[in-house]
Amino acid sequence: MRKDGWVKQGLGAAMLGALALSASGCASIKDHRGYLIDPALTGSVQPGIDNRLSVERSLGQPTFKSEFGKQTWYYLSIDTKQRPFKRPQTGAQTVLKVNFDAAGNVSSVERGGMEKVARLDPDGHKTPTLGRTRSFFEDLFGNIGSVGAIPGQVGQGGGAPGGSGPNGS
């Protein structure tokens, strides 16, 4: 083979390698947040049989607890996926809600998923504010003349009215 044939093959291999490296940088990122749900353990929690101590021993500390009202423990698990240059999207969500009665026994166990997720699309309009509306050039040149000015300065003397010194003397 001639020398330029080797160069073309080497250049082609280098281009292929660069393409493979750049494509691997565009992979999606998968992430898990919160409680790791084990179906065998979460299925073992039974109303009327378990209490706070047995739930804590089998499932561990909850993701969060209710502060007011009846005692409720929440175990939250979220799987997200993020494509390059995009915001993370929720792929799967599992919420295990364990309600306790006044004696500390499990009164009910509820399971939920993506049907509980609320999608919010913020309004793109601007919020009106008090004050006057200024143009770009008013914002840019509006402070010319006020920079370096001393508050309370009157005339060319540099002092306060009624005297020549700072104390009015």
Global pTM reads: 0.54
Question: Looking at the DSSP assignment, which residues form a beta bridge with residue 30?
Answer: 81
Per-residue pLDDT tens over the stretch 118-131 = 777 777 777 777 77
15, 50, 74, 109, 160 from 43: Cα distances, Å: 53, 12, 15, 9, 81
Question: Higher pLDDT residue, 83 or 150?
Answer: 83
Can you give the pLDDT at residue 17? 62
Distance in angstroms (rounded) separating the CA atoms of residues 80 and 135: 42
Domain 37-115 falls under CATH 3.90.1750: no
Question: Higher pLDDT residue, 35 or 21?
Answer: 35
Q: Say if residue 164's pLDDT is above 70.
A: no
Question: Looking at the DSSP assignment, which residues form a beta bridge with residue 32?
Answer: 79
Per-residue pLDDT tens over the stretch 54-82 = 999 999 999 999 988 889 999 999 888 88
Rg of the chain in Å (alpha carbons): 34
- Domain ranges for the chain: 37-115
Would you state the torsion angle of the CA atoms of residues 89, 90, 92, 96, taken in this order, to the nearest 10 degrees?
A: 170
Residue (of 94, 95, 35) closest to 60 by Cα position: 35
